[in-house]
Structure 1
């Protein structure tokens, strides 16, 4: 669900160019990077520390969004030389004009309640508090979001301490559904510069979904194949935020589709009521995956 960038991120090394480090100076509210659940010392010898980042609307967050992290964690343990040190949800900015997008503060709170009991998942409100010089919400391209995490963890914190007592650079990687990699394979939809940053400098863990042909999408991304890990979804789950919003619009129960604390929050704040028709492809995009490189381009 990403598109050509207007002023796309540079494909240079993630931490080598200071001018591309996201600034938190101009924000809608005071900001501090969440790290209370970040494992700052590794427990597995010889492993590379890994931080998973899922960007998306999360309007609202569903069990599938949360399940993706658990599937990725299992995959990493059994199939890679990484050690997962944290997982982050990064709700998209309000500047991303998507149908059914609840205000950022509500989406951050719903995500926070959903991961409250998780020992390793956190919510980073960075995208939702970033604003321009006029104080308006500013869209943050996915490549810049990953640079933000790279800067906060590897520059500010100095990385993750290994079992040898030395600090090691954490690998930052995107976590998303197969619809993301499908969109990356579509000509002209993503900025080549953004792809170089996301898949070249960082990498992505992609969870398969029914109705998507991952192999076909990967065929056009061969240059990044060593930085893309595909995770099979053994138990099929097609819950989406779009379907949840449709249920809410029809006054149907959404319990056991989304976490109970999120259901209660939605009821308390009467969210997603009287929503406009979301059936138009022009106004919808896959849930749980990064948004476009610029807010003017929305994937159908």
Structure 2
């Protein structure tokens, strides 16, 4: 796959963008394993404990059932141009994700690359991570100094994988790129049938890892926004720093008229007008 790697000219960057890697482990602990970075793409409007819990479930699965070693994890909020109903501005969503990540696991980061520009397909987002980590940063090393390329994989809920199994929603080329080149860890979500969702994706089954929720959690951003509009408490559904941020900025009090959905999915769609919002830097949770 080395000859398939993209170059800098294949990507557009938001103004003043720099790739976050302050929590990326550059030296592997176990040289017999393959270094892995997990990338979760989504709205994160707002980020919830379930979003963060997905990374922990994946970490347990990776440690117990694979030959990977996790060296980092990223939240990649979608662009405002995705125009999903209830989507808060990228500025606030990235801020909340940064607060949650900095307070949580020491290996989680937020990459604002996708959020502050035109709509980017998931296949391109994964290529961006592969380029930044393996080409720009040069991958990672073993303790003996041996260079290793990092394998990038998508982390998603089974509701997303369900859309991948629906004919016409995702382009076959992008599915093959995402599931064939990179692969994915799928975390069970309440109300989503895992087996049914992957039946039509059987050709990539070796690159699809299914993770069951041993403790059911059906918290969703949609439910959180509904609670907030009704004036109900959302504490202990979200990190406290995120709740405080929402209250400080009076967010989600009234979503108002939703922008009409342009029916973009994460597998196809054309680039739209670029957004020029300033990129917030990671904030301390303290």
Per the TM superposition, whether the score is higher than 0.5 is yes
Q: Give SS of 1:53's match.
A: strand
Instruction: Please report how far the alpha carbon of residue 295 of structure 1 lies from its aligned counterpart in structure 2 after TM superposition.
Output: 6.9
Give the Cα separation in 2 of the matches to 1:257 and 1:187.
34
Question: Structure 2 unaligned runs (5+)?
Answer: 272-286
State whether residues 50 and 82 of structure 1, in contact with CA within 8 Å, keep that contact through their aligned partners in structure 2.
yes
Give the Cα separation in 1 of the matches to 2:73 and 2:262.
26
Aligned residue number for residue 114 of structure 2: 127
Q: What TM-score comes out, normalization by structure 2 length? A: 0.88
Alignment of 1:146-295 (within 5 A): 146-276=126-256, 291=266, 293-294=268-269
State whether residues 49 and 85 of structure 1, in contact with CA within 8 Å, keep that contact through their aligned partners in structure 2.
yes
Instruction: Kindly tell me the number of residue pairs found equivalent between the two proteins.
Output: 268
Aligned residue number for residue 63 of structure 1: 49
Alignment of 1:109-148 (within 5 A): 109-117=95-103, 118-130=105-117, 138-148=118-128
Aligned residue number for residue 135 of structure 1: none
Q: Give SS of 1:273's match.
A: coil
Instruction: Please report how far the alpha carbon of residue 284 of structure 1 lies from its aligned counterpart in structure 2 after TM superposition.
Output: 11
Between stretches 262-271 and 51-60, larger displacement belongs to 262-271
Instruction: Please report how far the alpha carbon of residue 292 of structure 1 lies from its aligned counterpart in structure 2 after TM superposition.
Output: 5.0
Q: Give SS of 2:175's match.
A: helix
Give the Cα separation in 1 of the matches to 2:243 and 2:58.
25
Question: Structure 1 unaligned runs (5+)?
Answer: 1-11, 131-137
RMSD: 2.1
Relative contact order, CA 8 A, sep 6+: which one is greater? 1
User: Equivalent of 1:42, from 28, 43, 52?
Assistant: 28
Q: Give SS of 1:129's match.
A: coil
State whether residues 22 and 147 of structure 1, in contact with CA within 8 Å, keep that contact through their aligned partners in structure 2.
no
Aligned residue number for residue 133 of structure 1: none
Aligned residue number for residue 23 of structure 1: 12
Instruction: Please report how far the alpha carbon of residue 218 of structure 1 lies from its aligned counterpart in structure 2 after TM superposition.
Output: 1.2
Aligned residue number for residue 106 of structure 1: 92
Q: Give SS of 1:119's match.
A: coil
Distance 1:19 1:264, change over 3 A: closer
User: Equivalent of 1:87, from 65, 73, 87?
Assistant: 73
Instruction: Please report how far the alpha carbon of residue 16 of structure 1 lies from its aligned counterpart in structure 2 after TM superposition.
Output: 3.1
State whether residues 13 and 201 of structure 1, in contact with CA within 8 Å, keep that contact through their aligned partners in structure 2.
no
Distance 1:77 1:250, change over 3 A: same
Instruction: Give deviations 1:223-249, integer Å, cap 9, x for gaps.
Output: 100110000100000000000000001
Give the Cα separation in 2 of the matches to 1:268 and 1:284.
31
State whether residues 14 and 147 of structure 1, in contact with CA within 8 Å, keep that contact through their aligned partners in structure 2.
no
State whether residues 86 and 121 of structure 1, in contact with CA within 8 Å, keep that contact through their aligned partners in structure 2.
yes
